[in-house]
Amino acid sequence: MKDKYGRTIEYLRVSVTDRCDLRCRHCMPPEGVPLMAHEDILSYEEIAAVVTEAAKLGVRKIRLTGGEPLVRPQLAVLVKMLKSIPGIEQVVLTTNGVRLAQQLPDLLTAGLSGVNFSLNAMDREAYEAFAGRDRFEAAMAGLHAALDAPGLSVKINCVPTKGREEQVLKIASLARDTRASVRFIELMPIGMGAVLKGIPKIELIDLLQKKYGPFSHDEAGPEGVAPGEYRRPERQRGDAGGCPGDRTPKGPAEYYRFPGFASDIGFISAVSHRFCGDCNRIRLTADGMLKSCLAFPAGEDVKAILRGGAGEEALRESIVRCVQNKPKQHAFGFQKTEEQRSMSQIGG
Ligand code: SAM
Ligand code: SF4
């Protein structure tokens, strides 16, 4: 499915809930945000109906997100349903990992192929201060369970914010010590992100080099990419990770390898380096709005179509309309078009 700017849309991010068991400072205020009514949230059958029509139109990859997707009961049931839809090649998950250790066996059996693990602190106290909940051990158990799962793609996503440099550097060390790449994702002016300050990439690279030594193409593996050059290793091609922080096959992430590191460190600067020209995705909110861009509130009300009994063709038409209305680019920092809701409500 192509949009009017010629972009191929093959990736659908599905928010399964707006609920979350954490209160990360860059996402939600400590008191939480107004919640959607339970009856407004799409059932698994309704989500599968949307995905079925999207797959007929060319969607191949589904990412489940939220809120925290693992707070929704029996997520593995949904994974299995989606995995069995003709055309759907991959079902992956973005999670804070707090409930992952327990649910991973069922998710793997259901066909989950990848996890993007959101992590913003590596010490218990710092974790609690940032995430608003004392769930550090549970998150670490989730991370290790994912890393130990053969064949499961695992990436660690961190949004670096000022004053938290020490934790950010510790998170970087996971790319040295584990098979997971670590991606630093630029803070977006969404939700609480509008009131925090991110660490600029240039500053972060400086800190990383001071701590871990100069990155070098000698360490970059067989592809031999010059320092700082855009790098797209084969094993990551086609991956679009957490969002913000997604990459398309021709995406904008810059990857670096530090001396002695087992995995890459990536930088994804969606705000300062717009990569909208490569955007391949649309998103479905938990309450059934199909959105063509994270930064714009408008969308197609597919829940009304589903519940009004309008049928599969109307659903497909709505998906096509959404894709056709996909804006050329986001306008963060340029005009006041951004969403006023938090990432947990939109489905980050
Ligand atoms: N709860 C899950 C998690 O944390 O991975 C999935 C939903 S969460 C909204 C998805 C991603 O959005 C997380 O990696 C989170 O760090 C990121 N995020 C939330 N608010 C953000 C902001 N203002 N700027 C950049 N990323 C943000
Ligand atoms: Fe943190 Fe994700 Fe929950 Fe937002 S939705 S508070 S990023 S765990």
Decide if 184 is inside a domain.
yes
- 267 in Cβ contact with 172 (< 8 Å): no
Q: 72: helix, coil or strand?
A: coil
Say how many Å lie between the first and final Cα of the chain, rounded. 22
- 204 in Cβ contact with 168 (< 8 Å): yes
Give the pLDDT score at 224: 38
Atom of ligand 1 nearest to the CA of 194: 23
Centre of ligand 2 from the C-alpha of residue 68, in Å: 6
- Lowest mean pLDDT, pick from 42-46, 112-116, 267-271, 312-316: 267-271
Decide if 133 is inside a domain.
yes
Residue type at 10 in one-letter notation:
E
Q: Residue 176, exposed/middle/buried by CB under 10 A (0-12, 13-18, 19+)?
A: middle
- Enter the tokens of residue 271: 């705000």
Q: Which ligand is nearest to the CA of 295?
A: 1
Radius of gyration from C-alpha coordinates of the chain: 19
Question: In this structure, is the dihedral angle defined by the CA atoms of residues 184, 187, 193 and 198, taken in order, positive or negative?
Answer: positive
pLDDT band for position 347 (cuts 50, 70, 90): confident
The secondary structure element, H or E, covering residue 110 is helix 100-110
Give the pLDDT score at 160: 98
Give the pLDDT score at 340: 59
Give the pLDDT score at 344: 83
Give the domain range for residue 51: 11-346
Decide if 2 is inside a domain.
no
As beta bridge partners, residue 289 has 301
For the stretch 45-93, pLDDT in tens is: 999 999 999 999 999 999 999 999 999 999 999 999 999 999 999 999 9
Decide if 65 is inside a domain.
yes
Decide if 6 is inside a domain.
no
Ligand 1 and 142: CB distance under 6 A: no
Residue with the two structure tokens 């693992």: 70
Q: Over 90: is that where the pLDDT of 233 sits?
A: no
Query: How many angstroms separate the CA atoms of 78 and 332, rounded?
Result: 33
Whole-model pTM over 0.85: yes
- Which of 82, 112, 81, 77 is CA-nearest to residue 95? 112
Query: How many angstroms separate the CA atoms of 187 and 158, rounded?
Result: 10
Ligand 1 and 190: CB distance under 6 A: yes
Q: Over 50: is that where the pLDDT of 289 sits?
A: yes
- Enter the tokens of residue 162: 């000022």
| Domains held by the chain: number | 1
- Which of 49, 11, 18, 52 is CA-nearest to residue 34? 18
Query: How many angstroms separate the CA atoms of 24 and 118, rounded?
Result: 10
Q: Which ligand is nearest to the CA of 131?
A: 2
- 72 in Cβ contact with 103 (< 8 Å): no
Q: Which ligand is nearest to the CA of 68?
A: 1
- Give ligand 2 pocket residues (Cβ under 6 A): 20, 22-24, 27-28, 66-68, 96, 118, 343-344
The count of other CB atoms within 10 Å of the CB of residue 37 is 7
Question: Which of the 8 DSSP states describes residue 90?
Answer: E
CATH of the domain at 334: 3.20.20.70
Give the pLDDT score at 337: 43
Q: Over 70: is that where the pLDDT of 111 sits?
A: yes
Q: 76: helix, coil or strand?
A: helix
Decide if 4 is inside a domain.
no
Decide if 43 is inside a domain.
yes
75, 93, 118, 156, best to mutate for ligand 1 pocket (most atoms within 8 Å of CB): 118
Give the pLDDT score at 331: 61
Decide if 124 is inside a domain.
yes
The count of other CB atoms within 10 Å of the CB of residue 4 is 10
The count of other CB atoms within 10 Å of the CB of residue 174 is 24
Closest residue CA from atom 1 of ligand 1: 68
